[in-house]
Structure 1
């Protein structure tokens, strides 16, 4: 039994890995960060609001190692600054989780350029230039048998058209999916995998208003598994994509949506 447990730990374990989770102070990012901390990884979280980020890191530190870095990743300069700060603490990064994102809802007639730019700057430009800035640290951790891992958080809205008028969000997430596939090909020679987690309905700040207006039962009615995504669902997907179990997996979009977008 002990030998079997050791084999499973070797297959799915992430203990000792260095992980950066952007947008890690709440929601999906917090759930993923918590999973990695509890699994024994050394985790850095970043978010735009310093106080919120530090408070989240303090809570997560009760389970293991977690540190906070405040950063607004909508600019190239901020991405480069975060990379420099991390390089001051670590010689390598095993896992980068690009989760930080923004949404903007408005009618087609009134959709503002500022809203479009805000969403694309954070959702698409930010992950790309953060990857660019972190390449030396990611390559330092990479090997043929245990690649460096980039996990981008997309959305089922990238291929499932929502009824809400969130034009920039859906377009940006589709861009994230395609960018991830492109990077998966380009980074394969340096032993870095790039995959996407596409969440479905998750109890987040964005969904709270809909739940209050319609009720949870009505919201989950079209979901075949008849529930919202739980924190453990997202954490489990991220840990799989960071573990030895997925060492030969790259360019994949993993839907974590209870079958909502892929069975309708």
Structure 2
């Protein structure tokens, strides 16, 4: 049973890891001993985050634009040149667009679908050689897709493409899980509720209080909540879990 919950020594890649939920995940992974690469568009943000998180472990900035298939393949190629294996891929990068139904644009639709859904599939595809190299009957490789409570229930915003992308991401995770299970690669989705991020600003105490009052647990999410769940899915303890969508929202969906 020794090391059942450990991710020490594993290699991880977190997209959108420079800020928000991605940074929270990376913070926990680094502290738990995983060699962690963070991907994002803005080099300065990535470098600052990597420098800060490296105080407790190893965090490496890997700039790249995942909004196109070519950009994702370039990130995968850069990673492959540095690492032969990948124990944990966290597909977290995403965006949101909301507008009234009468003025909702095709550009707003496509940009969200491309980043939140399409890029996840093609980046995972591009990194399959490294995931396969890490996977064995004794130690699985893990793909964790960050979905949303917005893919489980309809919220107040008119964010139609976001709702569609996250619901599709949850379902696609099951498809990938079924295909890759025999290769010792697990694929699961996490559906977070309220966590501090650019999509969920919590810059005022009254906003935090309002959000907390909507959650049965009476608080918003923390790095330990999201990072701990991701770390668990990458550990030996979760090797028999695949194709799951895990609500991480303090009971909001009840």
**Shorter-normalised TM range:** over 0.9
Shift of 1:206: 2.0
Unaligned runs of 5+ in 2: none
The answer as to whether partners of 2:15 and 2:92 remain within 8 angstroms in 1 is yes
Work out whether 1:206 is the aligned partner of 2:224: no
Measure the CA separation in 1 of the matches of 2:40 and 2:179. 28
The answer as to whether partners of 2:46 and 2:61 remain within 8 angstroms in 1 is yes
Shift of 1:190: 1.2
For 1:67-86, list aligned pairs within 5 A. Answer: 67-86=60-79
The answer as to whether partners of 1:29 and 1:100 remain within 8 angstroms in 2 is yes
Deviation by residue 1:155-200 (Cα, 9 ceiling, x = unmatched): 0110111011111111100010011000000111211000011100
The answer as to whether partners of 1:145 and 1:247 remain within 8 angstroms in 2 is no
The answer as to whether partners of 2:95 and 2:199 remain within 8 angstroms in 1 is no
Measure the CA separation in 2 of the matches of 1:24 and 1:243. 20
Measure the CA separation in 2 of the matches of 1:248 and 1:107. 43
For 1:136-147, list aligned pairs within 5 A. Answer: 136-147=129-140
Q: Report the counterpart of residue 213 of structure 2 in structure 1.
A: 221
Shift of 1:231: 1.2
In structure 2, relative to structure 1, the CA distance for the partners of 1:186 and 1:225 (3 Å cut) is same
Q: Report the counterpart of residue 192 of structure 1 in structure 2.
A: 185
Work out whether 1:258 is the aligned partner of 2:226: no
Unaligned runs of 5+ in 1: 1-6
Alignment length (residue pairs): 254
Measure the CA separation in 2 of the matches of 1:23 and 1:99. 6
The answer as to whether partners of 1:97 and 1:153 remain within 8 angstroms in 2 is yes
Measure the CA separation in 1 of the matches of 2:103 and 2:66. 26
Measure the CA separation in 1 of the matches of 2:29 and 2:235. 11
Deviation by residue 1:243-262 (Cα, 9 ceiling, x = unmatched): 0010110001111100001x
Q: Report the counterpart of residue 241 of structure 2 in structure 1.
A: 249
Moved over 6 A (4+): none
Q: With structure 2 as the length reference, what TM-score do the two structures score?
A: 0.97
- Equivalent position SS for 2:127: helix
Q: With structure 1 as the length reference, what TM-score do the two structures score?
A: 0.93
Measure the CA separation in 1 of the matches of 2:36 and 2:80. 14
- Equivalent position SS for 1:11: coil
Measure the CA separation in 1 of the matches of 2:100 and 2:233. 37
Query: Among 41, 44, 48, which residue is 2:37 paired with?
Result: 44
Q: Report the counterpart of residue 132 of structure 1 in structure 2.
A: 125
Query: Among 166, 170, 173, which residue is 2:159 paired with?
Result: 166
